[in-house]
Structure 1
Amino acid sequence: MATVKISPAEFPRDREVVAGLFAAYAESLNIDLSFQSFSDELSQLPGKYAAENGGALFLAYATDVASAQVVGCVALRAFAPPVTCELKRLYVVPEARGMGAAQRLMDATFEAARNMGYSEMLLDTLASMTAAQKLYRRCGFKETNKYYNNPIDGTVFMKAVLEDVNLPSESATKISA
């Protein structure tokens, strides 16, 4: 059985992998992300997710004894530094769902946000993404007021106070370099 490992994305090495996962994420939403300047985001990776810009980007790998395959990603960006960051682009390929990759990506993102000095994390998600909302609530997110102009009807805005988020044991969230 495969296990999931989380690793920071490295640029330029992982650029095409990240761009591919971001594109698959956008396609899975079945909405137009041009209001978020999505094509610019792809062409400028890591861009706002670079460490020097207050961001982070992680990849999830499904590993077995012989190989590792990238199965997911998540990004973090500064929103209202130094206090607030925003979770973006959490995505796990359909064939890897149920392996715990999304939870492990969330754990890595929370740990990185704390280490960067953020105290709260925002996100927005579609009303139709009920499984994602369940994960976010389990991770400590609660619904909050709309924090930016999103034209998609029914968008759910959420916030987590990082000191209230309980991470699993250190060994469970170990991020490989």
Structure 2
Amino acid sequence: MLTIVATTTPEMLETARALLVEYGDWLQAEGMIFPRELRAFRDQLALLPGCFAPPDGCLFVAMHEEEAAGCAALRKLSDEICEMKRLYVRAAFRGMGIGRSLAEAVIAEARKTGYTRMRIHTVRSMVAASSLYASLGFEEIRPYEETLIEDPVFMELPLPGG
């Protein structure tokens, strides 16, 4: 059974931190993050929940049975615009719809918070991620921030009712 849990306890925050450390290691191994960005990523982990803290953000963990399977976060960009960040599913749990469930939880939280648009960026080589985002209604847009990532894709989702 899959459960999506908001990180409201110190234990869940530590679970999220462990998943995000693993995600950073994976990004580095795949050559998708530069040393400067990796340092900033790790600095952000030390400050969790940081920019993902309520009421403007959130950090979710997906639990499959009793095991942490993945995570995703939401952060504020402006009063109307938010960004989905750090969507990660452990390799053993990929292909089970966990990424979609996490993304849907983040989108629902963004609507509940009152955001009217959600943004995300990924890399073109992450085909499964780009396909997931497109299937959720995200469309490619012009870059909204600078990045050192090679071949980035910037996307946005309107949030009617947000």
Distance (whole Å) between structure 2 residues aligned to residue 39 and residue 29 of structure 1: 12
Moved over 6 A (4+): none
**Length-normalised TM-score, structure 1:** 0.83
For 1:27-46, list aligned pairs within 5 A.
Answer: 27-30=25-28, 31-32=33-34, 34-35=36-37, 37-46=40-49
In the other structure, the counterpart of 1:169 is none
Distance (whole Å) between structure 2 residues aligned to residue 35 and residue 49 of structure 1: 18
Residue 112 of structure 1 aligns to which amino acid in structure 2? E
Secondary structure, in 3 states, of the residue corresponding to 1:14? helix
CA offsets 1:47-79 (integer angstroms, 9 cap, x no match)? 000004x1011110112xxxx111010000001
Is 1:130 the counterpart of 2:132? The answer is no
Quote the offset at 1:12 in angstroms. Answer: 2.0
Identify the match of residue 145 of structure 1 among 130, 142, 146.
Answer: 142
Identify the match of residue 9 of structure 1 among 7, 10, 16.
Answer: 7
CA contact under 8 A between 2:62 and 2:102: conserved in structure 1? yes
CA contact under 8 A between 1:147 and 1:157: conserved in structure 2? yes
Query: Which shows bigger deviation, 31-40 or 134-143?
Result: 31-40
Task: Give the aligned CA root-mean-square deviation in angstroms.
Answer: 1.7
Quote the offset at 1:20 in angstroms. Answer: 1.2
Identify the match of residue 61 of structure 2 among 50, 59, 62.
Answer: 59
Identify the match of residue 88 of structure 1 among 70, 76, 85.
Answer: 85
More helix by share: 2
Question: Structure 1: where are the runs of 5+ without partners?
Answer: 165-177
Task: Name the count of aligned residue pairs.
Answer: 157
Quote the offset at 1:163 in angstroms. Answer: 1.8
Residue 19 of structure 1 aligns to which amino acid in structure 2? R
Percent identity, aligned pairs only, is 37
Quote the offset at 1:33 in angstroms. Answer: 6.0
Question: Structure 2: where are the runs of 5+ without partners?
Answer: none
Distance (whole Å) between structure 1 residues aligned to residue 157 and residue 11 of structure 2: 32
